[in-house]
Amino acid sequence: MQDGARQHRTEKVLRFLDEYFGNRVIALDYPKFTDTGIDWPPYSPDLTPCDYFLWDALKDTVYENHSSTLDELESAICVACKSISVKSLKDVMPNFILRLRHLIFSNGEYFENIVF
């Protein structure tokens, strides 16, 4: 989600997710709609690899060229994505698991002062 845009939570999207992924979906309001899945924890942007790793890894590379057109920006994003090593991507997953363990230990409540 960028610039405060709402996530895709229309009935059509939720039905698609339910059809293909069933109770394996973690999404805001998903359990209310389908009676399956896991509700997205409130205020948890630091839980997902895209939030705590990917955007930070990409932004410096993408913005160092000061793209002036949409095509240049798209190209810079592609170059930045290709520059992330497989090792870096593999290293992200144990950290994600650690973050989830902290969430479970805190019973889904907010936790702070933890350095990952």
Residue-wise pLDDT tens digits, 60-101:
888 887 888 999 989 988 999 999 899 988 888 888 888 888
Q: Are 51 and 35 within one domain? A: no
Task: Report the pLDDT value the prediction gives residue 37, as an integer from 0 to 100.
Answer: 74
- pLDDT given at position 42: 59
Same domain, 32 and 58: no
**Is pTM, for the whole model, over 0.85?**
no
- 69 and 16 inside one domain: no
* 51 vs 100, residue with greater confidence: 100
Q: Are 17 and 25 in contact (CB under 8 A)?
A: yes
**Residues 107, 72: one domain?**
yes
Tell me what percent of the residues of the chain surpass a pLDDT of 90. 5
50 and 33, same domain (yes or no): no
What single string gives the DSSP state of each residue in 1-24?
A: --TTPPP---HHHHHHHHHHHGGG
Asked whether the beta carbons of 48 and 115 are under 8 A apart, the reply is no
For residue 76, what are the domain limits? 44-115
pLDDT at position 54 over 80: yes
Question: Average pLDDT over the chain, rounded to whole?
Answer: 78
Looking at the fold, whether 84 and 102 belong to one and the same domain comes out as yes
